[in-house]
Amino acid sequence: MNRNRVTIKDVARAAGVSRQTVSRAINDRGEISEETRDRVLSIAKEMGYRPSSIARGLATQRTGTLGLVVPDVANPFFADVAQGAEHAAYAEGYSVFLCNTNEDPQRELAVLQSLEEKRVDGVVLCSSRLEENELREALTHQTAVVLLNRWLGDSNVGTVLIDDEYGGRLATEHLLQTGHHMVGFLAGPPASRSGRRRAKGYRAAMIRAGSGDPEAWILHCIPTVEGGRIAARQFLTAYPQVDAFFCYNDLVAVGALKASLELGRSIPDELAIIGFDDIPLAALVTPALTTCHVPRYELGRQAMQLLLDRIDGCTDMCRELLVQPELIIRDSAL
């Protein structure tokens, strides 16, 4: 392998035309007779000619490449996001650089700079760990940017967010409407923005249903199975009359499930439980978890689509997108 690359010049010589004519043939933009185009094309094919996109990029100032920055592709959440983003990009003829940050802000900065040097036409940045002004600074030189799961004030960037508030409302209302009255919220870490947004939806639903003061029924916890177990146990002891839990995420919900069963509550009859995310585990536990499904592939697809729209000039209208979770009813809440 690795013979000398055949260039546009070689093709031009072989076809007895100018380089420009070859260029016109491969880019197929009128301005050329059908006849010569076909002839040039067939010769090019025969010679195994592969137009160099880097030379083209240098000449046109557009590379046809995009950056996708995620904390960790091995995390199923971002793997699905990446999948959606990649599909959307590929459909428009773009290729994407996949970059892991490993949650490291320094590396995120490095990756962003490398993407700049590669002259990508745009970047989708997932869950940035950078501080507000650092992030703003890092993005100023970027051509086009869409932020996923992160909000940045005024900056002229696109944004795609999960509609956590809607999800919180959806789950809570469902519990309320299926005959539950005292719905506790196992809220995850206080620092979590999405947790706070979910709490907002929870509150709205509770107040609207007139179910008393919801504040007392919000209990923060570590967002793991064990954290959920501990919190639920605590909650059930403090308020034995609780008849439903809305949980920060599926891990917490599985923990709550465990605790409830340990304390002899039957699910979903005596106690209903709803999670958030719809991770694979949710369908596998017994009873299977009712949860708010977050459409991850869709999230990636929409973010990339938004980026492409913005690259194509529509930077004003297309600014912000909210992707809505969907309630998946399984066995832990009917």
Q: Any contact of residue 82 with a copy of itself (CB under 8 A)?
A: yes
For residue 98, the minimal CB distance to DNA (Å) is 24
271 binds, among a copy of itself, DNA, none (CB under 5 to 8 A by kind): none
H-assigned helices in the chain: 8-15, 19-27, 34-46, 53-60, 76-91, 105-117, 132-139, 164-177, 193-208, 225-238, 250-262, 280-284, 296-311
Residue 30, interface with DNA (CB under 7 A)?
yes
Q: CA-based Rg of the chain, rounded to a whole angstrom?
A: 26
Q: How many angstroms separate the CA atoms of 327 and 291, rounded? A: 6
Token pair, residue 269, equals 């009859």
- Of these partners, a copy of itself, DNA, none, which one is at the site of residue 133 (CB under 5 to 8 Å by kind)? none
Contact call for residues 225 and 255 (beta carbons, < 8 A): yes
31-60 residues near DNA, rule: CB under 7 A:
31-33, 35-37, 49-52, 55-56, 58-60
Residue 73's binding partner among DNA, a copy of itself, none (Cβ under 5 to 8 angstroms by kind) is a copy of itself
Q: Are 278 and 292 in contact (CB under 8 A)?
A: yes
By CB under 7 A, residue 156 contacts DNA:
no
Least distance between a copy of itself and beta carbon 71 (Å)? 11
C-beta of residue 245 within 8 angstroms of C-beta of residue 273: yes
CB of 269 to a copy of itself, least distance (A): 23
208 binds DNA (CB under 7 A): no
What is the full DSSP assignment across 103-169? T-HHHHHHHHHHHHHTT-SEEEEES--S-HHHHHHHHTT-S-EEEES---SSSS-EEEEE-HHHHHH
Residues lying near DNA in the complex (CB under 7 A) are found at: 5, 7-9, 16-21, 23-24, 26-27, 30-33, 35-37, 49-52, 55-56, 58-61
The binding site for a copy of itself (CB under 8 A) comprises 1-3, 48, 50-55, 57-58, 63, 65, 68, 72-74, 76, 79-80, 82-83, 86-87, 90, 95-100, 113-114, 116-119, 139-145, 156, 280-281, 284, 297
